[in-house]
Chains A and B, each alone.
Chain A
């Protein structure tokens, strides 16, 4: 495996489609051996970024290198060193799973004995038993996603791009993919660039997270750093419809609070001392006749970070729709 200080390095990466700027000048540095979580809602620019870094799209502006090779001028060298599982499983329904994996191995110049061995090894990941010799058209959605991931791994890439790899998977399959991602990273040293719209996934897997919104990276760091950046604790207060802005105004007078964000009928209050701040918050809201139906104290999540940096939450409905 080539050792490079940065497995992925992008500077001022831009992609325009006509007048629309899907990716608006992003800088990314992913160290070798790292799992980098690229988090953002649908349409934020995650997939476009992946398509540029994996050589499917040319950047409109800016530069990037993957595994030490320029994505624009050394695209073929990049392709040899990356594995990619795109958002929609890219499979050929008329081939069997085994034929598809073997074909992948052939295209990466693997000798027959290595291909046979790799297919057997990957069968454990694919976990579709005897169906590996059935046509892919007969597979369930989850099986297709797992086979797609296996296809990305046939040649043991140095850098693995996983574009929303668990979207549409059942919890068991999702856990299996997570375990495999950890194994690939920890045991084989594969750098992983993982796009996801699942906060839990980024939190669970990523060494560092970049949050993208409207084509720009709005926050970057380890999950803990990002969460700490908005305070040690978060108080969530569910208030009456239309009371959010007024509640935020009255709470602004409290000295112990770092920030107060309004998201729908919720107040997200960041503070360094949640236990001591929750009581004044409740009293202040009550004194101003603002009805509170729920009051919760918890540690911050990446969703809170997203809200803090973008002013809105990642669209929960969108996530649910994709999961279903």
Chain B
């Protein structure tokens, strides 16, 4: 029963190898955690159908002829699909089960413990957009910018999804509390509703119009809608990526600060 072997020499695997190891594990576990992912897929499909069913006639009736509410709504559903998707819940479990300590006992690069999870999240959020897109095609939504535009559309959605993951990771690492992580989605509510989720920007009035101007989701949705409804508009697309970038700067700062606190040997 002995572990007889020639001597081996452990060494630092290096940043990229560590990143691959952490990301592959996270992806493997995500594929085994479908019960956490499937509801996340169903909700945006439900909202797409319900929103179109209940609001299409009303919105289109109050706007100039030719306004495509289905194409207008598709980005909202995609954003709902990709927001809050993260491995933060499993990170909390790792902390609670002691597996996070086991990782810290190895020479693994500490930052890869978070970046690796985010890479897995990127794959998952891309997968999450697919059912929404398929439903969109079924109900007649098309892309003015073609397949390339659709790919850019997916990228914008994925960039937003990843930008938002910083919040649940920050909460997971700071609190180690699964309930707090689950509630991180509440942070999305102001982003989701103080914006042009249901009507175009020029239809918003008063304080909601002001709030929408400062809400990065407004620019995100505009960039995505342009790809569906109008064609290539580099300014709108750039602003969409930029809005995700600003959110990412805030959320990643919080997340990596929390990681530093968690791995500090206090």
**Given that A56-B265, A103-B25, A180-B3 are known contacts, is A108 also in contact with B104, CB under 8 Å in the complex?**
no
Contact with A along B13-30 (1 / 0, CB 8 A): 110011001000100110
Q: In the complex, are the beta carbons of A180 and B17 less than 8 A apart?
A: no
How far is it, in angstroms, between the C-alpha of A114 and the C-alpha of B5 when the chains are bound? 10
**Residue of A86, A91, A92, A180 contacting most chain B CB atoms (<10 Å):** A92
The answer to whether A106 and B17 touch (CB under 8 A), given A56-B265, A93-B97, A156-B8, is yes
The answer to whether the Cβ of A151 comes within 8 Å of any Cβ in the partner chain is yes
Number of A-B residue pairs having CB atoms within 8 Å of each other in the complex: 120
Report whether A80 and B12 are in contact in the complex, using a CB–CB cutoff of 8 Å: yes
Decide yes or no whether A298 CB sits under 8 A from chain B: no
Q: Which of A32-40, A116-124, A287-295, A309-317 forms contacts with chain B? A: A116-124
Cross-chain contact B29 with A76 (CB below 8 angstroms): no
Residue in B12, B14, B105 with the greatest tally of chain A CB atoms within 10 Å: B105
Which of B10, B17, B21, B32 has the most C-beta atoms of chain A within 10 angstroms of its own C-beta?
A: B10
Take A80-B11, A121-B5 as given contacts and tell me if A109 and B17 are in contact as well, using a CB distance cutoff of 8 Å. Answer: yes
For the complex, is A145 an interface residue (Cβ under 8 Å from B)?
Answer: no
A95 pairs with B7, CB closer than 8 A: no
Residue of A whose beta carbon sits closest to that of B25? A103
Q: Mark B81-106, 1 if CB is under 8 A from A, else 0.
A: 00000000010001001110111111
Contact A180 B1, CB 8 Å, known A88-B98, A108-B106: yes
With a cutoff of 8 Å between Cβ atoms, the chain A residues found around residue B108 in the complex are 107
Instruction: Name which residue of chain B comes closest to A84, CB basis.
Output: B105
Assess the B102–A184 pair: CB atoms within 8 A: no
Task: Let me know if B33 is at the binding interface, CB within 8 A.
Answer: yes
Q: Would A79 and B3 be within 8 Å (CB), given that A92-B99, A108-B10 are in contact? A: no
User: With A79-B105, A106-B17, A109-B11 given, is the CB distance from A94 to B3 under 8 Å?
Assistant: no
Closest Cβ of chain A to B26, distance in Å, is 11
Which chain A positions have C-beta within 8 A of B12? 76, 80, 109
Q: Is B2 an interface residue (CB 8 A)?
A: yes
Within 153-190 of A, Cβ neighbours of B (below 8 Å) are at 153, 155-157, 176, 179-180, 183-184, 187-188
Which among A75, A91, A94, A121 is the interface contact of B32 at CB below 8 angstroms?
A94
CB pair B28–A80 under 8 Å, yes or no, is no
- Pick the residue among A86, A124, A179 that contacts B101 (CB under 8 A): A86
Q: Does A104 contact B (CB under 8 A)?
A: yes
Q: Is the CB of B98 within 8 A of A57?
A: no
Q: Report chain B residues within 8 Å CB of A89.
A: 98
- Please, which residues of chain B bring their CB within 8 A of the CB of A93? 97
- Determine the chain B residues whose CB is within 8 A of the CB of A107 once the complex forms: 13, 18, 21, 103, 106-108
- B104 cross-chain contacts in A, Cβ below 8 A: 55-56
Interface residue range, chain A? 35 or more
Q: Decide: A183 and B33 in contact? CB cutoff 8 A.
A: no
Query: What 1/0 flags go to A127-142 for Cβ under 8 Å of B?
Result: 1000000010000000
Once bound together, how far apart are the Cα atoms of A82 and B144, in whole Å?
59
CA distance A57 to B264 in the complex (A): 8
Min CB distance A77 to B, Å, is 8
CA distance A122 to B2 in the complex (A): 8
Closest to B1 in A: A124
Q: Which residues of A contact B14 (CB under 8 A)?
A: 109
A84: B residues at CB distance < 8 A: 102, 105
Contact of A80 among B10, B17, B18, B265 (CB under 8 A): B10
| Minimum CB–CB distance for B140 against chain A, Å | 40
- In the complex, A58 has a CB within 8 A of chain B: yes
Complex Cα distance, B99 from A157, in Å, reads 19
Q: How far is the CB of B3 from chain A (nearest CB, A)?
A: 5
Query: Whole-angstrom distance from the CB of A42 to the nearest CB of chain B?
Result: 18
Distance, CA A138 to CA B98, complexed state (A): 18
CB-CB under 8 A from B4, the residues of chain A are: 121, 187
Chain B positions within 8 Å of A127 at CB level: 1
Give every chain A residue within 8 A of B101 (Cβ-Cβ).
56, 86, 90
Inter-subunit contact B3/A95 (CB<8 Å):
no
Given the interface pairs A109-B13, A121-B5, the reply to whether A58 lies near B107 with Cβ below 8 Å is no
Residues of A within 8 A of B8 (CB): 110, 114, 118, 155-156
Check A125 for interface membership: any CB of B closer than 8 A: yes
A253 lies within 8 A of chain B by Cβ: no
Within the complex, which residue of A106, A114, A153 is in contact with B13, where a contact is CB–CB below 8 Å? Answer: A106
A195 within 8 A of B: no
Pick 27 A–B contacts, CB within 8 A, sort by A.
Answer: A54-B105, A56-B101, A56-B105, A57-B265, A58-B265, A79-B105, A82-B105, A86-B102, A88-B98, A89-B98, A90-B97, A91-B97, A92-B25, A92-B29, A92-B97, A92-B99, A95-B25, A107-B106, A109-B10, A110-B8, A125-B3, A135-B32, A156-B5, A156-B8, A179-B1, A180-B2, A188-B7
